[in-house]
């Protein structure tokens, strides 16, 4: 059975958004997240090693659902899936980019910041979306306002979401998960403090912890 966008948004209340400068960190980081109960990660295409990092995680940590984030050009969708990305995330949703992402036949979370952009994605049958940049775009109150006119849309807010405000987003009925980098701080990743990353993840963002 293939994974859908709904499935991946249900895997974890937080999707770690990861920027790596060294591909050698990818596999131990993926294993640390898994050990902490987080089976999904978004590796952003913001550095030259990103595609190699995705390929290594896909090959060596098959239990980790690894996706590619910061998809900004249509050709990156193909490059990411060829490397092994199992889902695609973009900061925005121009028509050529959305078409290219959908053509790869993997779950997608295109970015929106307005109701107009969300309506455009609905025309493609896309009901799961990244809300970015969540904080500057209006935060929880803005997303709460969208729930009425867009009852079939589910969001993953990213950008300005952190440990202190994540619960405010997760309390909304139209938010399934949030994206953030606080589970994988660069200082811990570069220092190889994998056990500490597992501790940051473990139990904190389970469904039970939010009840």
Q: What is the mean pLDDT of each run of 10 residues along the chain (211 residues)?
A: 86 96 98 96 98 98 98 98 98 98 98 98 97 97 97 96 94 97 95 96 54 34
Question: Any idea where the domains of the chain sit in the sequence?
Answer: 5-205
Burial 48-75 (b: 16+ CB within 10 A, else e): ebbbbbbbbbbeebeebbbbbbbbeeee
d(CA 118, CA 149): 11
Q: Is 79 exposed, middle or buried (0-12, 13-18, 19+ CB in 10 A)?
A: middle
Which are the catalytic amino acids?
42, 130
d(CA 117, CA 129): 10
Predicted pLDDT of residue 206: 44
Predicted pLDDT of residue 21: 97
Predicted pLDDT of residue 204: 56
Kindly give, in sequence order, each residue whose CB lies less than 8 Å from that of residue 208, ignoring residues fewer than 6 positions away.
none
| Helix ranges restricted to H, 46-165 | 50-60, 74-83, 95-103, 115-122, 134-137, 139-146
Q: Is 168 exposed, middle or buried (0-12, 13-18, 19+ CB in 10 A)?
A: middle
Name the CATH superfamily for 5-205: Aldolase class I (3.20.20.70)
Tally of CB atoms within 10 A around 30: 28
């Amino acid at each position: 059975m293939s994974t859908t966008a709904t499935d991946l948004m249900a895997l974890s209340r937080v999707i770690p958004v990861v920027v790596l400068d060294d591909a050698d960190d990818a596999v131990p980081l993926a294993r640390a997240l898994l050990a902490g109960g987080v089976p999904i990660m978004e590796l952003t295409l913001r550095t030259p090693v990103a595609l190699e990092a995705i390929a290594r995680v896909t090959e060596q940590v098959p239990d980790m659902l690894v996706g590619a984030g910061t998809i900004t050009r249509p050709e990156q969708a193909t490059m990411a899936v060829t490397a092994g990305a199992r889902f695609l995330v973009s900061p925005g949703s121009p028509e050529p980019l959305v078409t290219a992402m959908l053509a790869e036949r993997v779950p997608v979370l295109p970015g929106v910041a307005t109701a107009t952009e969300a309506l455009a994605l609905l025309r493609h049958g896309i009901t799961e979306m990244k809300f970015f940049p969540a904080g500057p775009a209006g935060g929880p109150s803005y997303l709460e306002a969208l729930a009425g006119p867009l009852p079939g849309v589910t969001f993953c807010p990213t950008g300005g979401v952190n440990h202190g405000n994540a619960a405010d987003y997760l309390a909304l009925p139209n938010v399934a998960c949030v994206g953030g980098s606080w589970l994988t701080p660069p200082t811990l990743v570069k220092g190889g403090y994998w056990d500490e990353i597992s501790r940051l993840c473990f139990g904190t963002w389970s469904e039970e912890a939010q009840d």
